[in-house]
Amino acid sequence: MIKVGVIGGTGYTGIELLRLLSNHPNVEIVAITSRTKAGTAVSDLFPNLRGHVNLQFIKPNLAQLAQECDVVLFATPHGVAMEMVPELIARNTRVIDLSADFRLSDPTVWERWYGHPHTAPNLLTEAVYGLPEINREAIRQAQLIACPGCYPTTVQLGFLPLLEQGLVDPNHLIADAKSGVSGAGRKAAIATLLCEASENFKAYSVSGHRHHPEIVQGLSRISKSAIHLTFVPHLTPMIRGIHATLYAQLQKEIDLQSLYEQRYAKSPFVDVLPPKSHPETRSVRGTNMCRLAIHRPSVEDNTIVILSVTDNLVRGASGQAIQNMNLMFNLKETSGLNDIAIIP
C-alpha cells in the first residue's frame, strides 16, 4: 500500500482527494492536515465520508509526514506548497502539488500573476508538469509533480493533436471556456453564493486570468513555437464541470477524427466521441475522463471547433493527481479512477 499524506484537506480538491483515495485499492491515507480544523474528525466536516475516512485533521508536521508518507499531495491555496515542498523533497518524499506553485517554469511570470516572489524558484525546473498525455514518462520518474489547472487541462487536451502536428494557425487560437462554480473553491464569498451565481451566466477576467500564462506555456511547448491565445472564462450556474469551446484556423486538410482517435488511442482518460457529437459535462461528472468532439461547421471555411469537457475537481485537480500518482508508483494508470458518472 502506498502511504499518502494530504496537506490542506478542507477545500473542494481536498475532499475530492479523500473521496478518491479512500476507495483506491492501493492506498492508505496516513495523514490529512488542516491548520484551522486540526482535531476535528474528517467525517464531521464532510458527512459523505462517514464510515469511509476515520481520520482527524492534524496540523502539518513536515518531518513526520516525510517519515510516514511515500507521497504527499498538496491541496492548498497558492503560496503554501512552495514553502513546504523543499523540505519534503530534501527528505526524499515525493510530492504532487495540486496548486499553482510549480506550474509556471519562469519565476518572473509567476510573480507577475500571483503578486509576490516565488520562494522556491530552483524547484521550478525540477518539477514535472503533470499532464500525463504529454509527460507520461517524465511523470513516472518525477520527485515533484505540478498538477495542471482545470482550464489548462481541458484546453490543452483539446488543442494538443492539432498543435503537435502544426495543423492550425498558432497565432489565432481562441478558448471560450465555461466552468462550474466549484472552480472558485470552498471559501466564503459573495460572488459564488447560490443567490448570486444561480440563474445567471457571465464572463469574468476577460482582461487576464491566472490560467492564461499556464495554458500559453503548455501550448507553446506542444507546438514548439510561440502561440497566441484569446482565453475567455465564464461562470456557469452549476457545481461541477468545464466545457471548453476551442476555435482554430486549419492550415492543412487532414482527417481530424482519425488524428484525434489515434493520438489518444492509448490514453485511458481521453475519449474522442464520434463525429458530430456534443459532449456533456455531466457525462464526466465525478470522473477523470476528458471527452472531446471535433467539428468543422462549414466546409467553405477553415474554422474548426473542438469541444472538450472535464470535471474540474477530478480531471482538473484531484483525479489527475491520482493518475499521476499511479504512474509514479507503477500502478495501473486507471487504478482507483473507475467511477462512472452519475446520470441524471
Q: How far is the CB of 14 from a second copy (least distance, A)?
A: 11
Among 92, 253, 265, 297, binds a second copy (CB under 8 A): 297
Instruction: Compute the CA torsion angle 10, 12, 16, 18 (nearest 10 deg).
Output: 0
Distance of alpha carbon 254 from alpha carbon 148, whole angstroms = 29
Among 9, 152, 218, 279, binds a second copy (CB under 8 A): 279
Residues 124-153 close enough to bind a second copy by CB under 8 A: none
Distance of alpha carbon 123 from alpha carbon 120, whole angstroms = 6
For 105, counting Cβ atoms within 10 Å of its Cβ (0-12 exposed, 13-18 middle, 19+ buried), the class is middle
Among 105, 295, 329, 335, binds a second copy (CB under 8 A): 295
Residue with cell 485511458: 268
Residues 4-63 close enough to bind a second copy by CB under 8 A: 12, 15, 19, 22-23, 46-52
Nearest one of 143, 150, 160, 55 to 91, comparing CA atoms: 143
Q: How far is the CB of 119 from a second copy (least distance, A)?
A: 29
| Site for a second copy contains 119 (CB under 8 A) | no
Among 94, 118, 243, 315, binds a second copy (CB under 8 A): 243
Q: Which residues pair with 310 in a beta bridge?
A: 242
Of 35 and 278, CB closest to a second copy: 278
| Site for a second copy contains 181 (CB under 8 A) | yes
Taking a C-beta distance cutoff of 8 angstroms, is the pair 154, 147 a contact? no
Tally of residues, the chain = 344
Handedness of CA 129, 245, 311, 269 (dihedral sign): negative
Residues 259-278 close enough to bind a second copy by CB under 8 A: 271, 273, 276, 278
Q: How far is the CB of 151 from a second copy (least distance, A)?
A: 14
Stretch that binds a second copy, among 106-114, 115-123, 259-267, 291-299 (CB under 8 A): 291-299
Distance of alpha carbon 236 from alpha carbon 201, whole angstroms = 5
| Site for a second copy contains 186 (CB under 8 A) | yes
Residues 195-214 close enough to bind a second copy by CB under 8 A: 195-204, 206-208
